[in-house]
Structure 1
Amino acid sequence: MLELLLAFVLSTAIGVERELRQKSAGLRTHTLVGIGTAVFVEASKYGFADVLPPGHPGYDPSRIAAQIVSGIGFIGGGLIFVRRDAVRGLTTAASVWLTCAVAMASAAGLPWLALSATAMHFIVAYGYTPLLRFFGGPPPRTVEVHLTYLAARGVLPTVLVTCTGAGFQVSDVSVHRIGTDEEPPGKSEQHALLAAEAWAGGPAAGRVPEIRTTSVMLGLEGSGDPYALIARLTELRGVLTVAGGDGGQLPE
């Protein structure tokens, strides 16, 4: 139980760091990986002594632990995805793999090895990013920006020019029109009313059916400041809503 508790504490510590950085695999995933790995190792060490035949010379307690190394790849592979030429989730998958190794060391009775590996994880997570910035300048950011704007007003070209001027390159564009027959009842009228008031500067109930809005998701890459970009986009004429988020690559 002490070995299992150590695996629980260390995997939780790694999970907290991932959760604070808002990665796809956070506190619960890392903690469960650590607990499960430790239980597998403990079962491999102590779980089959009562079923061995009399006079059996022994067994290999590492046989289950060896399969954990292969099996954890399925979880890690599910965290990695590629969008065009950008690979995301690779460091998070590596942290899950490391959490598995830390839990195995804890359950195997190697606490100092587990503690050292956990300390190295935090050195890499918090120390390497400033070090890379010191030697190579600011790393490129991958940001997703979601906008809602008035359709047929020439807003999107202005948005793209603004993103380029802020130090970002547009790597992905996904457009969806709002206010068409595909929308649920009531949603189109709500968006149209918002668009009419934003464009005309006041209530425009009589023109609501004529107004159409468009929702677009922009995948951006660059070294600019995403907060400054969002502030600039909100000031553009015809832009209704702007929301931004980390695209998953910064900082790993």
Structure 2
Amino acid sequence: MSHLAAALFDIHAGQGLRQFAELAIALLLSSLIGLEREARQKSAGLRTHTLVGVGSALFMEVSIHGFGALLGTDGVALDPSRVAAQVVSGIGFIGGGLIFVRRDAVRGLTTAATIWLTCAIGMACGGGLPLLGIGATAAHFLIVRGFSVVSERITSGPSFDRVELHLTYQAQHGLLGRMLELCTGSGFRVVDVQVETGTDEARTAAEVLLRLEGSGSAHPLVEALTEMDGVRGVALGRHGDSTE
């Protein structure tokens, strides 16, 4: 019992209260991340993240304190970073197993990255850097919770409506190009252009169907097209309005 008590309070032995406290911090932080993943019903949840965090912390403790007895031995040179490097490369097998492709869409990237981050947090705690581990845990919640809201707002953006314009205009005067420039300059994207030349012998009349996509009102564009020289008629197909 005396030897056990001495080990518990001997920090230099690598099995003292400090090391147990570091493992406990790794347990707590990795559990918080695991609970967040579990709440979102991800493939890797509470148990996986907790095991990764505690395991990586233990590897760091072993790397730092587990080979102290070999210090001073002739021909032996210790490099504690070697174990840490193996943990970093080894966690890739777990992360890779979480990534899969379904219907040409990659799934599991965020969960795999979270496993990788949990491993780093556990290593920080086991390496005597618990404040960095706490900061990284806070960063995790900021990224997965806060950034998702920002991402949804960015990707949703304004809704785009499609409109159809039926135009009759005077052909062979470069008018179609100017009309297209006016459409794009008004904030619309030209999706489709269908041109039909008139049947008269002089072939001076032509009709075009423009399919446009944009978020604004099409009525100002219709008015601007109507006022162009050579345009004989404009019909807004989506609303059934026409200006002759």
- TM-score between the two structures when normalised by the length of structure 2: 0.54
Equivalent of residue 69 in structure 1, options 71, 88, 92: 88
- Equivalent in the alignment of 1:162: none
Stretches of structure 1 that go unaligned for 5 or more consecutive residues are 139-252
Aligned partner letter, 2:96: G
- Equivalent in the alignment of 2:33: 14
- TM-score between the two structures when normalised by the length of structure 1: 0.52
SS of aligned partner of 2:94: helix
Deviating more after overlay: 26-35 vs 82-91: 82-91
Larger radius of gyration: 2
Percent of matched pairs sharing the same residue: 59
Aligned partner letter, 1:103: G
Q: C-alpha displacement at 1:54, in angstroms?
A: 3.6
Matches within 5 A, 1:104-183: 104-137=123-156
- Residue 86 and residue 8 in structure 1: after superposition, are their counterparts in 2 closer, same or farther (change >3 A)? same
Stretches of structure 2 that go unaligned for 5 or more consecutive residues are 1-19, 158-244
2:124 counterpart of 1:97: no
CA contact (8 A) 2:70 2:76 kept: no
> How far, CA to CA, are the matches of 1:30 and 1:92 in structure 2?
10
Aligned partner letter, 2:145: Y
- Equivalent in the alignment of 2:164: none
- Equivalent in the alignment of 1:246: none
Runs (4+) of structure 1 exceeding 6 A deviation are none
Q: C-alpha displacement at 1:13, in angstroms?
A: 0.5
Residue correspondences, number: 138
2:107 counterpart of 1:88: yes
Q: CA RMSD in A?
A: 1.6
Q: C-alpha displacement at 1:84, in angstroms?
A: 3.0
Q: C-alpha displacement at 1:89, in angstroms?
A: 0.6
Q: C-alpha displacement at 1:50, in angstroms?
A: 1.3
SS of aligned partner of 1:60: coil
2:47 counterpart of 1:28: yes
Q: C-alpha displacement at 1:55, in angstroms?
A: 5.8
Residues 105-135 of structure 1: CA deviation (Å, up to 9, x unaligned): 1111111111111000000111111111222
> How far, CA to CA, are the matches of 2:106 and 2:78 in structure 1?
42
